[in-house]
Amino acid sequence: MSDIVHVAVAVIMNERNEVCISLRDKDAHQGGLWEFPGGKLEQGETVEQALIREVKEELTLVIEQSRPVITITHDYPDKTVCLYVRKTLSYQGQAVGVEGQQVKWVPVSQLSDYDFPAANLSIIKVLQLPDKYLITGKWLDNDDFINKLKKALNHDIKLVQLRLKNDSKKDMSQMQSLFENVAILCKQANTKLMLNAADNYLDIIDLTNIDFEGFHADSRTLMSLSRRPKGRLFSASCHSEEELVKAAQLQADFVVLSPVQKTASHPEMPAMGWQQFAAMLEHIAIPVYALGGLTEKDMKVARQHGAQGIAAISAFWND
């Protein structure tokens, strides 16, 4: 196996929320597939410097500002690549295929329709996930729950975890109605709904006609699984490197890592802080939401440390 090839990758988006992609030459490595612009780091270059140079050489665009998105290490049969993915915040110029390569601007929702190298698939997952992840918290009754959810959805929440654990202690006869109403509201708001429910809830709920995206596993459930649920999105809660590795092995679509800061709900758990959070993400090619004592004001620092965004109960559910 050759040394790792370090590559800067640019996610360039226009005002219509379209992403710039180009077609690899058929004679190149992974030829004939679509890719995000970028290229190899040269000796002494930072990722940002390489990104600016490569995008200008490939597309004539001048990148002015960018931020980190995700770092992906992938083993191909003939080489190992490490992709340092950055999203452009501002740029100048018009995209032109300098080497005659085909260039397209594609809606984020349609990226899965194109054939990309395997190493790029995690980038697509990142782009198709929002930056805020609501985890539902305490409520008084179904009406209170629905009112809290409506308020959150009106604040542009596009990913919701319906969390119903054994300590919820709610009227079980009302759960079917609650699930159905939550699913309807999320669908109307174009919001992805993940279910994180204890077995005693799932045993009595008929999910046949409930529209939801997938299942979220707590850390204990995660470590007990031998395979991921089929046919739906799968996410998990993690608190350690061991759990992150397990989530990666199960090909989780995204995870939540906590606690970044001290929380009132779990005062017994030590906060890891941003430096440890970032270090734990270095070899995990999965979108990761930061959780624990955070609000939307922490979004910038979370992104700077490699997070997909912020997950929260209090900040999004009780705001």
How big is the chain by its Cα radius of gyration, in Å?
Answer: 21
Domain count, the chain: 2
Instruction: Tell me how far apart the alpha carbons of residues 197 and 166 are, in angstroms, rounded to a whole number.
Output: 8
Least confident of 109-118, 153-162, 181-190: 109-118
Note whether 114 and 141 are same-domain residues.
no
- pLDDT score at 1: 36
Provide the CATH number for the domain around residue 118.
Answer: 3.90.79.10
Q: Which of 127, 144, 177 is the last residue of a domain?
A: 127
Note whether 57 and 162 are same-domain residues.
no
What average pLDDT score do residues 211-230 get?
A: 93
Note whether 60 and 144 are same-domain residues.
no
Note whether 52 and 142 are same-domain residues.
no
- The continuous run of DSSP H or E covering 193 comes out as strand 192-197
Note whether 143 and 115 are same-domain residues.
no
Is residue 266 within 8 Å of residue 314, measured between CB atoms? no
- pLDDT score at 3: 82
CA distances from 212 to 67, 187, 232 (A): 31, 8, 9
Q: Which range of residues forms the domain containing residue 280?
A: 132-317
Instruction: Tell me how far apart the alpha carbons of residues 263 and 254 are, in angstroms, rounded to a whole number.
Output: 22
Note whether 180 and 262 are same-domain residues.
yes
Note whether 20 and 60 are same-domain residues.
yes
Q: What is the pLDDT of residues 19-37, one digit of tens each?
A: 999 998 877 766 789 999 9
Note whether 118 and 164 are same-domain residues.
no
- pLDDT score at 218: 95
Note whether 144 and 123 are same-domain residues.
no
The SS3 assignment for 302 reads helix
The band of 226, judged by pLDDT with boundaries at 50, 70 and 90, is very high
Note whether 110 and 152 are same-domain residues.
no
- pLDDT score at 266: 66
The band of 192, judged by pLDDT with boundaries at 50, 70 and 90, is very high
Instruction: Tell me how far apart the alpha carbons of residues 11 and 123 are, in angstroms, rounded to a whole number.
Output: 9
The whole-model pTM stands at 0.87
Q: What is the pLDDT of residues 146-178, one digit of tens each?
A: 999 999 999 999 999 999 876 555 667 788 999
Note whether 98 and 139 are same-domain residues.
no
Is residue 190 within 8 Å of residue 158, measured between CB atoms? yes
Instruction: Tell me how far apart the alpha carbons of residues 18 and 225 are, in angstroms, rounded to a whole number.
Output: 37
Note whether 24 and 119 are same-domain residues.
yes
- The continuous run of DSSP H or E covering 314 comes out as helix 314-317
